[in-house]
Structure 1
């Protein structure tokens, strides 16, 4: 059973959809919706259908209401428009904005993304019909369910927050940067490094935070670099390089995760928790491949320098898990390449390549595999590529085929059916121009370069996108297992997901349940592999740590 939730001027309309039965609608006063949702959830565990999880579920969470399943029409519409090349007819959805729904926002029920109730219902029916007509409806339905489950998880992690010790954070910052400076000033360690850079470059007025000014100062000192990026500076033999790179590293820490960041993103936790909370602002499907993004706070770039501030509440523990070499394993499964799956079995895939005699060293194996995934054709990766081609022809054929489709402007699909976008109009214009009379050699070179670039994008899209699908299924299965373990008592009493980074999760759990949670994490990873790839013999081994602080995870 599905229940469609849609706002109206005089309340919220709930429409029950049951196969073979005409829709039945009722109007609930806005202020009574959480109680009504809780009642229906307990009675029948329906799948809730709404326009936007971020605009609806967060409000239910504030009222203490959690649901098991949902269908996010906005996220699913985005997938279907590309996957089926037949977007539903209504354009009311196209102007939808991301809802402003910070944890400290006013406790209203709906924020910005509202549509007429009849349109929300019509959209759900259109999406049902579109999936039913698809040649790959089973896989596509799995993708839409996983994407919607991810939206629930993102909202819950944002609401619950990541346990954070402000005192530990301050100590880590002070150790790295010196005491907290006055507003607008640099911390003492940064200022000392800035002065060392100025002295070494004989540029007493230099502001090292200004890229153009720094580049001019480097040129003035006879250092011929095109940018001030780390990868280029590392190849320069000059005494300014060491203090400059250290300055850039610490300046990034200060700006991205310093004291000002904590004031904005870290707030008191639940009463009696003993820890504050960092509330990550995740955006499910925020990257075209299906990977998540963030709207702020840097949840996907939490540096090692501050992980010691992620501390479990008293009587609780953190279960930290990450999967080893996810994308190559996914590629082996997609391609049904049993030789590559054997190399990955049980642990380190890169060492497996060495043990099979494909490549001499683990370092070479990593370079070769990443080159295959990202389309490196020169340097060490390009030299090693033929060995992978001979050893794993099925796997390399998948990425090579995806690259060739991209180079001619075609689209590619992930395992479950997420479809890549077409190249932008400017790309096609450049390709067309090379075939016109009067095209110059430079026109043709540019067209070939852009074609290769788009081929690299589609090459990686199929693998990164499928890895994102595996991760969503892992999260969804784990969330269901945690609900069983904890009796869905909410974040204050039950184990719950608090952090996600592509192939890594953190669960905050009562200490007594930590071992069971660790086993649930492993079982969920295996379950995600079976759901996507059936009985194909590829495994997804995890590194799992039971710790009091994130910094202690292996």
Structure 2
């Protein structure tokens, strides 16, 4: 059963049953309490909800205590369909999608609402639609248009389920102890400073740095000032990057590197971050499903996908609860094995530590060299020892290496590649096309052309693997969401890692649900493949103890 849903700015809502092809199956219904109407339909039918954008609609329902089982996210679906058609840069929001259906010029996307204008009890502001089309009718028209590529059905379902997960993660929030966060900041930076001042320990290091440069004033927060300070000391450095400074013999280097490390924490996850992003013991960032072209998630504010290892100490389960942390061990090499069907690599995937098994198989037990070789195959690295190691891998696993090299060649020609479920890489820019298509056979222009082609080939080489890994994790999230105990909540997800907050009594059930979700995701993508995708799950009180 399909039901289209619109939330109006006055707090009311409208819904309409649809046939499987998206045509109306009944009259439009008005609900003064859309959350109550949705809850009633959920209990009776568990329909698939058709709406413009999960990130705008679903939080309103969650705040009213209503959880839905399934949805069709028109925004995310339009992005996937446009990608397959080589039209990545066209507008993807409901007005643009509707305009294309009606044969009208597509208005530009306006983007997500600002945090200060976030959804309230009264729902989103009304949208202006092309042709003065009613929004409920627009949902039906666009949904019908989006049935044009049935091969993307599983990807669309997984992407829409991911959007539900993202909204629920923001709603429940990641447990975050403000007292622990404050203690960690004071240990690293000193007491909280007055506005506009450096923390004491940072200021002490700044004074040491200045003294090491002979007392001359300089700003350790400004790379240009650091470069000038070294120049005055008779040392030319091309930049103030850590790897450059580590090679310099000067008494300012040690306190400067220490300063940069602590300052990074202060700026990215200091007191201002804590005031902004943590409330009532929960960190609630906005997650962006498919925010990276490969399908990986991004976040909007809060640096949710870049939590420093130190700050994981502040992520602590509630009393009587635990955090079940799980990650897919070496996911991308296993994805490559399943994609390529390379029987030798599939055999290596039988080990929990794929790199150790690969080292024993091909690199005389040297795990670091085995890892470099595999990463070089997936990312196209050839510098240093990567080239010779990749040659060993190519000889031992020709089918797997050939798979990514074929993808690289397609990219070098400016063509698109696809992930396992059909997510499609963007086409290169017009400037790239002009550069690679207009160079002659010799000279600087030819060299630039070849370099541009190789760079895009490295992108498509990795796209097929990283994007297919994103497909797998999207399927995992969708399945896991449906298998968790009622009181267990997905509260964090990053690339191939999930974190579930649950009562202690539910920990074993959660661990089993994660294992089942991993197996089901593998079946959905790869059928009966022999590749193992182990999900190592453990219950912990503190996130920092998970690894």
Normalising by structure 2, report the TM-score: 0.92
Q: State the Cα distance separating 1:102 from its structure 2 match.
A: 6.7
User: Please, which moves more after superposition, 352-361 or 424-433?
Assistant: 352-361
Identify which of 330, 337, 340 aligns with 2:342.
337
Query: Separation in 1 of the partners of 2:8 and 2:490?
Result: 33
Is the 1:30–1:109 contact (alpha carbons within 8 Å) kept by the matching residues of 2?
no
Deviations 1:322-351 (A, max 9, x none): 111111110110001121121121311110
Secondary structure of the residue aligned to 2:15 is strand
2:93 match: none
Query: Separation in 2 of the partners of 1:498 and 1:308?
Result: 16
Is the 1:146–1:473 contact (alpha carbons within 8 Å) kept by the matching residues of 2?
yes
Query: Separation in 2 of the partners of 1:21 and 1:452?
Result: 44
Is the 1:368–1:381 contact (alpha carbons within 8 Å) kept by the matching residues of 2?
yes
1:206 aligns to 2:206 (yes or no): no
Decide whether aligned partners of structure 1 residues 29 and 16 sit closer, same or farther in structure 2, where only a CA change above 3 A counts: closer
Is the 1:320–1:545 contact (alpha carbons within 8 Å) kept by the matching residues of 2?
yes
Is the 2:355–2:370 contact (alpha carbons within 8 Å) kept by the matching residues of 1?
yes
1:542 match: 535
2:3 match: 3
Q: State the Cα distance separating 1:390 from its structure 2 match.
A: 1.0
Q: State the Cα distance separating 1:241 from its structure 2 match.
A: 2.6
Deviations 1:489-513 (A, max 9, x none): xxxxx10100011111110001111
1:273 match: none
User: Please, which moves more after superposition, 201-210 or 17-26?
Assistant: 17-26
Is the 1:99–1:113 contact (alpha carbons within 8 Å) kept by the matching residues of 2?
no
Decide whether aligned partners of structure 1 residues 258 and 531 sit closer, same or farther in structure 2, where only a CA change above 3 A counts: same
1:20-39 equivalent positions in 2, closer than 5 A: 23-29=24-30, 31-39=32-40
Query: Separation in 1 of the partners of 2:295 and 2:361?
Result: 33
1:516 match: 509
Q: State the Cα distance separating 1:20 from its structure 2 match.
A: 7.7
Is the 2:86–2:426 contact (alpha carbons within 8 Å) kept by the matching residues of 1?
no
1:313 match: 318
1:68 aligns to 2:69 (yes or no): yes
Secondary structure of the residue aligned to 1:253 is helix
Query: Separation in 2 of the partners of 1:30 and 1:52?
Result: 19
* Count of residues in correspondence between the two structures: 528
Normalising by structure 1, report the TM-score: 0.91
User: Please, which moves more after superposition, 471-480 or 188-197?
Assistant: 188-197
Structure 1 gap ranges (5+): 269-275, 487-493
1:222 match: 234
Decide whether aligned partners of structure 1 residues 239 and 545 sit closer, same or farther in structure 2, where only a CA change above 3 A counts: farther
Is the 1:290–1:468 contact (alpha carbons within 8 Å) kept by the matching residues of 2?
yes
1:246 match: 258
1:402-441 equivalent positions in 2, closer than 5 A: 402-435=407-440, 441=443
Query: Separation in 2 of the partners of 1:9 and 1:172?
Result: 43
1:42-441 equivalent positions in 2, closer than 5 A: 42-85=43-86, 89-90=100-101, 92=106, 94-100=108-114, 106-111=120-125, 115=129, 116-128=135-147, 130-132=148-150, 137=151, 140-202=152-214, 204-268=216-280, 276-435=281-440, 441=443
Query: Separation in 2 of the partners of 1:359 and 1:397?
Result: 23
Is the 1:333–1:536 contact (alpha carbons within 8 Å) kept by the matching residues of 2?
yes
Q: State the Cα distance separating 1:125 from its structure 2 match.
A: 0.3
Is the 2:9–2:122 contact (alpha carbons within 8 Å) kept by the matching residues of 1?
no
2:488 match: 495
Structure 2 gap ranges (5+): 91-96, 130-134
Query: Separation in 1 of the partners of 2:514 and 2:124?
Result: 34
Decide whether aligned partners of structure 1 residues 295 and 113 sit closer, same or farther in structure 2, where only a CA change above 3 A counts: farther
User: Please, which moves more after superposition, 225-234 or 188-197?
Assistant: 225-234
Secondary structure of the residue aligned to 2:294 is coil
